[in-house]
Structure 1
Amino acid sequence: MLNNEKNKNLFLEPIAVLVLSRSRKGFIRKNIQKRRSLPVQIIKDQKIVEDSWQRLVEITADEILPTGDIIVPFAYWLDNKEVLLKRDSKLGVCIDGDDETEEVAKDLKHFDLIALDFPAFTDGRAYSHACLLRERYNFQGELRAVGDVLRDQLFYMQRCGIDSFQLREDKDMEDALNAFTEISVKYQSAADGAEPVYKYR
């Protein structure tokens, strides 16, 4: 009888582990879904529009990528180029202040969109990325500001060549549109191609 009970427990233990493993996998995948950013609307070309892109903030090694246009971390692109290039949909990458613009520029032909992460209002490294991508490397795709993106930054981001903006969730997009027209005079040339005021003299 004892032997039977022992054998019964040995048989049940792997099943319990399997169930827990599946539950944990489901829990992790649920959290990843929450970390994916798919805003309903963004500002693009000074208009509020529906967004078709899915930004994948964290991706596990065994995760199946969703269909449709996706934005992946630049580090994920470096490790998974072959898989990503086999997809039929558009591809974008997200770069942060620690990424080297020169490294991103090597693969520009594969990107329809580059998202620039602003982790904080005071972090200006993404402005430099934008200027270099537009002016030095002639990137013609969409440049998108993501992260801690606020109304007062939009005019200056646009001057650097950024043409779409995912505002912080607590900000009013209708009000943010006014930021593009509040300053009418530009004193310097920039990536947006606007004529500086001295050329009108």
Structure 2
Amino acid sequence: MNNTLGMIDGVANHLVDDDWVLVNDEQELPTGGKAILSLERWKKRVLVEGEEAHSCGVLLGPDDEPEEMFPWIDRVPLIALQFPSFRDGRAYSQANLLRTRYRFQGDLRAVGDVLRDQLALMRHCGFTSFAVREDKSVADALKGLEGFDLIYAGSAANPEPLFRRRGRVRNMRS
């Protein structure tokens, strides 16, 4: 995933040395790399084969329920959410649930049909890394994370609405 962007200390960066590899169910696991497995394959490795929950990342498809990850939510280093099409927004809801209801603290990655215009909203839903489509420019995609940072409503990235944040700043100046 050399087209991966990530948030580091609130700043978007190109993750050139990203070790995570998205592995489909028919592929062998990479040696020495970090694998992202489908939910079913991940559960088989953890529940049946006794692998540690933190050894691999998990890919949730649009029809997978985020609550299935709850028993391991504090041990999984990365959850990738699939965007099969830019028109399919189910992963936004999954991301918000993972961050707010289930309190997932690890890396939440957007994969699939990930485009520049979606990145700001993805960030506000709780995504921390983005595997931009291979046919798109990483430099151009980085620009999608530079603007639109000030939104009125609360979000997974910043739960306080703007009026509360502004009120706190005014009270500090008084």
Fold match (TM-score > 0.5): yes
Q: For each residue in 1:140-182, what CA deviation from the matched residue of structure 2 results, as whole angstroms up to 9, or x when unmatched?
A: 1000000000000000000011000000111111111111222
Q: Which runs of 5+ in 2 are unaligned?
A: 168-174
- SS of the equivalent of 1:182 reads coil
Q: Which runs of 5+ in 1 are unaligned?
A: 1-38
| Contact map agreement 2:108 2:127 (CA 8 A) in 1 | yes
Q: 1 CA distance for matches of 2:144 and 2:159?
A: 16
- SS of the equivalent of 2:40 reads helix
Aligned-residue offset at 1:194:
6.3
Q: Match of 1:49, as an amino acid?
A: L
1:173 and 1:47, CA in 2 relative to 1: closer, same or farther beyond 3 A?
same
Which residue number in structure 2 is paired with residue 147 of structure 1? Answer: 112
Which residue number in structure 2 is paired with residue 75 of structure 1? Answer: 40
Q: CA RMSD in A?
A: 2.0
Q: 2 CA distance for matches of 1:72 and 1:56?
A: 6
Structure ID, larger Rg: 1
- SS of the equivalent of 1:93 reads strand
Which residue number in structure 1 is paired with residue 15 of structure 2? Answer: 49
Whichever structure has more strand as a proportion of its residues is: 2
1:188 and 1:70, CA in 2 relative to 1: closer, same or farther beyond 3 A?
same
**Equivalent in 122, 129, 132 of residue 167 of structure 1:** 132
| Contact map agreement 1:91 1:110 (CA 8 A) in 2 | no
Whichever structure has more helix as a proportion of its residues is: 1
Instruction: Report sequence identity in percent.
Output: 42
Could you state the TM-score of these two structures normalised by the residue count of structure 1? 0.72
Could you state the TM-score of these two structures normalised by the residue count of structure 2? 0.83
Aligned-residue offset at 1:84:
6.2
Which residue number in structure 2 is paired with residue 66 of structure 1? Answer: 30
- Alignment coverage as a number of residue pairs: 159
1:129 and 1:49, CA in 2 relative to 1: closer, same or farther beyond 3 A?
same
Q: Segments of 4+ in structure 1 off by > 6 A?
A: none
Q: For each residue in 1:75-102, what CA deviation from the matched residue of structure 2 results, as whole angstroms up to 9, or x when unmatched?
A: 1122232436159x84101001111111
Which one scores higher on RCO, CA 8 angstroms, separation ≥ 6?
2
1:146 and 1:184, CA in 2 relative to 1: closer, same or farther beyond 3 A?
closer
1:101 and 1:166, CA in 2 relative to 1: closer, same or farther beyond 3 A?
same
